């Protein structure tokens, strides 16, 4: 049974921590689209920093990895449950680079 979108959203938000805002949309092909934005950082044109990735669990993982790196880089003093998986996130990043 596939978890509902809002249940996935809550789970992702809990993992990403208090600085993150998580949204899950569906794209034109009914694929899940994960978007994690930072409530503290502003990127260009005064839009919040955000990352988005499409596709079920892989998209979730990729978006959460990017968010984890953002936290480490920009908010080293802040805590979030996803930081517990930093080592795994770095390993996945490494594997993705190897695959290129
Ligand atoms: Zn930030």
Q: What are the residue ranges spanned by the domains of the chain?
A: 5-99
d(CA 79, CA 98): 29
Give tens-digit pLDDT for 27-51. Answer: 888 888 999 999 999 877 778 899 9
Give tens-digit pLDDT for 50-93. Answer: 998 988 888 899 999 999 999 999 999 999 999 999 999 999 99
Kindly list the protein residues that place their beta carbon closer than 5 angstroms to ligand 1, a single-atom ion.
38, 40-41, 74
User: Cα-flanking dihedrals φ and ψ of residue 34, to 5°?
Assistant: -90, 130
Ligand 1 centroid, distance to 92 Cα (angstroms): 21
Residues 6+ apart with CB under 8 A from 92: 61, 65
pTM: 0.86
Q: What is the DSSP letter of 4?
A: P
Question: pLDDT at position 5, please?
Answer: 87
Ligand 1 centroid, distance to 2 Cα (angstroms): 30
Could you give the 3-state DSSP secondary structure of residue 91? Answer: helix
Helix, strand, coil shares, percent, the chain, to 5: 55, 25, 20
Place of tokens 């959460």: 64
Ligand 1 centroid, distance to 96 Cα (angstroms): 23
Ligand 1 centroid, distance to 1 Cα (angstroms): 34
């Amino acid at each position: 049974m596939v978890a509902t979108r809002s249940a996935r959203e809550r789970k992702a938000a809990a993992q990403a921590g208090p600085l993150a805002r998580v949204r899950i949309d569906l794209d034109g092909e009914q694929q899940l689209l994960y978007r994690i934005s930072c409530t503290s950082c502003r990127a260009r044109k005064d839009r919040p920093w955000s990352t988005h990735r499409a596709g079920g669990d892989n998209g979730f993982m990729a978006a959460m990895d990017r968010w984890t790196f953002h936290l480490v880089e920009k908010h080293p003093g802040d805590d979030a449950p996803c930081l517990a998986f930093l080592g795994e996130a770095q390993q996945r990043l490494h594997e993705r680079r190897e695959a290129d």
